[in-house]
Amino acid sequence: MEWKGELVNEQRTVKVALLGAGSVGSQVARLLLEDGEEFSRRAGAKIELVGIAVRNLDSKRDVELPRELLTTDAENLILQADFVIELMGGISPARELITQALESGADVVTANKALLASHGPELFGIAERVGAQLHYEAAVAGAIPIIRPLRENLAGDRIERILGIVNGTTNYILDRMYSKGDTFEESLRIATELGYAEADPTADIEGYDAQQKAAILASIAFHTEVPLEQVHREGITQVTIEQIDDAKRAGFVVKLLAICERVPGADGAEAISARVYPALVPEAHPLASVHGGNNAVFVEAAAAGPLMFYGAGAGGIQTASAVLGDLVSAARRHVLGGPGLGESMDANLTVLDSGEIRTRYHIALGVTDAPGVLAEVARTFAEHHVSVSTLEQARTEDDHAATIVIVTHLATDGALQRLVESLGELDVVTRIAGVLRVEGGAE
Amino acid sequence: MEWKGELVNEQRTVKVALLGAGSVGSQVARLLLEDGEEFSRRAGAKIELVGIAVRNLDSKRDVELPRELLTTDAENLILQADFVIELMGGISPARELITQALESGADVVTANKALLASHGPELFGIAERVGAQLHYEAAVAGAIPIIRPLRENLAGDRIERILGIVNGTTNYILDRMYSKGDTFEESLRIATELGYAEADPTADIEGYDAQQKAAILASIAFHTEVPLEQVHREGITQVTIEQIDDAKRAGFVVKLLAICERVPGADGAEAISARVYPALVPEAHPLASVHGGNNAVFVEAAAAGPLMFYGAGAGGIQTASAVLGDLVSAARRHVLGGPGLGESMDANLTVLDSGEIRTRYHIALGVTDAPGVLAEVARTFAEHHVSVSTLEQARTEDDHAATIVIVTHLATDGALQRLVESLGELDVVTRIAGVLRVEGGAE
């Protein structure tokens, strides 16, 4: 199928339909209305906003929008458009409307990470079949360019690992716990007050948002379909001030990381892993200095070496910048005659189960302050074939109890989990005060 | 003209000619020969290296290359190619060969910043006329994605300012002076020993390399032709340890910056400035923590806010990654049917003369230690309508002399230069110990 825009190429007009007018959508509409002429000059075609589909015509919005552009009939609006910008979020009806738009030959720009992480392959398949394009730079890390660099700049390289701080809410909370000493609950309360966290923060603090982004990043980086359910996920609700203090004393900061990496598979074949959890990062690592609500993605590639992409998280205006970048550059490409890049999922690597990943643990143990405790702890490590990198007696809490902090060498996540279970069963161990993984440092 | 590759699209083969086999070229050849199958899968077409043009068949090279691929006849090699990768460097014969390649309908990938900065518009004009593409991600900051993010990701935004550390040699030298206290000469000697500086370091240390990159970045960011001679340039050979120590004490580091920004023009119309000089950057600024030979580009855009792109500088293997990213993504686009983005130079803003730029100065003055000195210095500032932000008596060198360090508020570069001249003429001023601009902070 020809791209719809070709039909109107002689007048050189690109008709844009916007679905959704929330915090991102209203900014996209405002910028299109205010700077549309500038964007049109850059694209080489008149970019015209033909309508905005909303659920309720009378909702209060961040930006006042011309009443005559608003409609509740998204399906009819799509029929008039060469480009459809989907910013409704959620799975349905976004999935059906994007399908309709692609099937009609329109290009689609979306920031809908939940939809891409769960139904990406289905939608990319439709786009490829009909020769339309699905753009989604805005879905990960707001305005920070990451999708295009991974897909195009690194197309002739081999991406080994991605460590991403891709959720601003959790980075704000963890940074506040680290720098101010506030508890998780107190930091969350302040994040909510300041607008860094939503009224229901579950998607952020439980890591679901980062999990979706990890699935998207891993699939692009490794040219492999990465189903959301194969991305191991842990949130930050269990992170304590005590853990953050222990980490700080050892020269680390705690960050919620989205990790995508190539790893050896069980059969020696190449495999990949995608996972999300709070982890210790060495203070000297570039990710350690990403403060507040900012995002950053650290990429290691075989030829390019380490790269980092840094910027503000996914606020309304920042995400609007990414959406409009997709729109204007894709419109320009169409005017010049031809589509952009399709997806390539041809590597088709195995996605490793999280238990098979090799990682390092930072373990804080409450122990009785008696002779032979260290020997018993050490014996348990040996039994699980996990070797100790550093061991420190951190605090003596009262006359009969102490805390020891251990950082391990690399071992499989499964072995480390079993080790922690065994430690918990020792008589000399009064409690497992905290367990966090260590990422981004030497082995 | 149709893209040549269309002719071979049915067999889906993309024929690649490589011009030059120096430190970048030999790595590109190696990776194409080793990982060509992987790249071909990603592109959806067989990527075939058909030949490598060199000056001397028997030169010693970093990588051993198959003898049967080498030729000294670049013109004939180009005739066989859909893609021409130019890595010879220099203006001639690179300019003539790229012209020949584009005219024949081949796409060109180049890392030749000197050629682009001096003859970019001519070459982009040829490409546009014949419908071929000229790719050059590798020309600025090696493997760090910056050209594509500026052209595409930020196509729907308004770039306000770019501050770039785009030369690894000078960053290595300045970082060494800052962290080890070595002099410029000593740091340059070590940089040469370690391979960070070339035998003739002039292009790096005098800022010519950064000037070329600033011209390229400014033209993309502001959609305006920026002739190389309109980019003000100062190198780092005059930077002293004393200046770096003064800066450190005041909470700054010294970096050689390529600066591109929108500024109000003389007539109130919009204008731009592109310039290169060593400048003070606040320690808390993300650019301040770019150490050693690394590069980073800090971009401020109206909607996206601040972004930073960080990575290794332009080594052979890193630059090869950028070249191959251009090749594979462009090949894939051709297989899918259609070109990439052309250049857009339609904003056509005025490029401001450097004297009209508003900046801040960090001035160290040797003065006689006598009553009335400060009053006389202050009167001179007032005469030139430059206001003082901070003033500090830094050192008393002996009984009769002292050094004072002044940081100004914003003023035009011209006014600041005239101020420094007048200060030099004061009897109480024994010497101008150092003058550096301040960038990247509040005003």
Query: Would you call A95 an interface residue with chain B, using a CB distance cutoff of 8 Å?
Result: no
**Whole-number pLDDT of residue A7:** 37
**Whole-number pLDDT of residue A348:** 75
ipTM value, please give it.
0.88
Over chain A, what is the mean pLDDT?
Answer: 90
**Whole-number pLDDT of residue B355:** 81
Q: Give the tens place of pLDDT for each residue, A167-224.
A: 999 999 999 999 999 999 999 999 999 989 999 999 999 999 999 999 999 999 999 9
Q: Give the tens place of pLDDT for each residue, B326-344.
A: 999 999 888 776 556 666 6
d(CA B276, CA B270): 21
d(CA A63, CA B213): 39
d(CA B436, CA A410): 48
Query: Would you call A141 an interface residue with chain B, using a CB distance cutoff of 8 Å?
Result: no
Q: Which residues of B156-180 are buried (b: 16+ CB within 10 A; e: fewer)?
A: bbbbbbbbbbbbbbbbbbbbbbbee
d(CA B289, CA B308): 12
Q: How confident is the model at residue A77 (pLDDT cuts 50, 70, 90)?
A: very high
Domains and CATH numbers, chain B: 4-142+317-336 (3.40.50.720), 147-311 (3.30.360.10), 357-438 (3.30.70.260)
Which residues of chain B register pLDDT less than 50?
1-3, 5-10, 443
Q: Across the interface, do A308 and B305 touch by the CB < 8 Å criterion?
A: no
Interface A-B: count of C-beta contacts within 8 A: 212
Give me the amino acid identity at A264.
P
**Whole-number pLDDT of residue B343:** 64
Q: Across the interface, do A346 and B143 touch by the CB < 8 Å criterion?
A: no
Q: Across the interface, do A324 and B289 touch by the CB < 8 Å criterion?
A: no
Question: Residue A13's CB: how many other CB atoms inside 10 A?
Answer: 16
Element (H, E) at B389: strand B388-398
**Whole-number pLDDT of residue B264:** 80
The CA distance from B363 to the nearest CA of chain A, in Å, is: 31
Q: Is B381 helix (H, G, I), strand (E, B) or coil?
A: helix
The CA distance from B337 to the nearest CA of chain A, in Å, is: 6
Backbone angles phi, psi at B363, to 5 degrees: -120, 125
Which of the two residues, A86 and B333, has the higher pLDDT score? A86
Given A39, A145, A148, which is nearest B156 (Cβ)? A39
Known active-site residue B15: no
**Whole-number pLDDT of residue A194:** 92
Q: How confident is the model at residue A372 (pLDDT cuts 50, 70, 90)?
A: confident
Q: Give the tens place of pLDDT for each residue, A321-358.
A: 999 999 999 998 887 765 566 666 677 788 878 788 88
Query: Would you call B289 an interface residue with chain A, using a CB distance cutoff of 8 Å?
Result: yes
**Whole-number pLDDT of residue B15:** 96
**Whole-number pLDDT of residue A270:** 86
* Beta strand A401-408 pairing with A358-368: antiparallel
Q: Give the tens place of pLDDT for each residue, A252-269.
A: 999 999 999 998 877 778
A261 touches A350 (CB < 8 A)? no
**Whole-number pLDDT of residue B184:** 97
Given B31, B145, B338, which is nearest A149 (Cβ)? B145
